[in-house]
Structure 1
Amino acid sequence: MQAIKIKADELATFGKLLDAEDLIEKVLEGLDDTFQPVINAANSRETAITFDELHEKLINKELALHNSSSSVSVTAYSTHTQRSNQRFQRSPAPSASQ
């Protein structure tokens, strides 16, 4: 998003102003399906979303995606570790009466 904003500002210095709504539309078009909830929220607003609001929503979505994938990784690691530990536990020693 920062790179997009910089390019838009550079274009403005050369006299090619980009409409804020056009810029946001281009950003939304470039997002994949992972960001569909953000796209839907931005498109369903009565007033146009600002570039800064969109940026905040995208950061929040990325953090949520990162946190959920980290949780999955930790859970998978934990499950794998528990199973490995169970395999390597010693079976009880046979009693003297057997």
Structure 2
Amino acid sequence: MDTMSVSEYLMTIKHMADELALIGASLSEDEILLHVLNGLSPKYKELGVVMCVRDTPISFEELHDKLIEHEIYLKRDMEMKEIFNAIA
């Protein structure tokens, strides 16, 4: 994932899966989700663990939504820390 946004990262994974499907090497949705989770940066580790231990599988779209929500949370958290450090 490195410096990519969640949306960029997921589009890259989806594009690679589509390319594999074109050459006859399709991945299941579970395999795609596993690749997504394995490539997440450490700041998404907790969310990845929760997704792996669910009783029911999560869809790619649901995972996308959860990752976007977490990305927004992380940005707000960083902004709040910067504000607090500026005040302190």
Superposed structure 1 runs of 4+ greater than 4 Å apart:
none
1:1-98 pair list within 5 angstroms? 1-79=10-88
Larger radius of gyration: 1
**Deviations 1:56-91 (CA, angstroms, capped at 9, x unpaired):** 111111111110000111121233xxxxxxxxxxxx
Alignment length, in residue pairs?
Answer: 79
Whole-angstrom distance in 1 between the partners of 2:79 and 2:23: 44
Flag structure 1 segments of 5+ consecutive residues without an equivalent. Answer: 80-98
Aligned alpha-carbon RMSD (Å): 1.3
Structure 2 counterpart SS, 1:46: coil
Query: Alpha-carbon deviation of 1:51?
Result: 0.9
Query: Alpha-carbon deviation of 1:35?
Result: 1.1
Question: What's the % identity of the aligned pairs?
Answer: 32
TM-score (norm 2): 0.80
Q: Which structure exhibits the higher relative contact order, with contacts defined as CA atoms closer than 8 Å and separated by 6 or more residues?
A: 2
Query: Alpha-carbon deviation of 1:33?
Result: 2.7
Flag structure 2 segments of 5+ consecutive residues without an equivalent. Answer: 1-9
TM-score (norm 1): 0.72
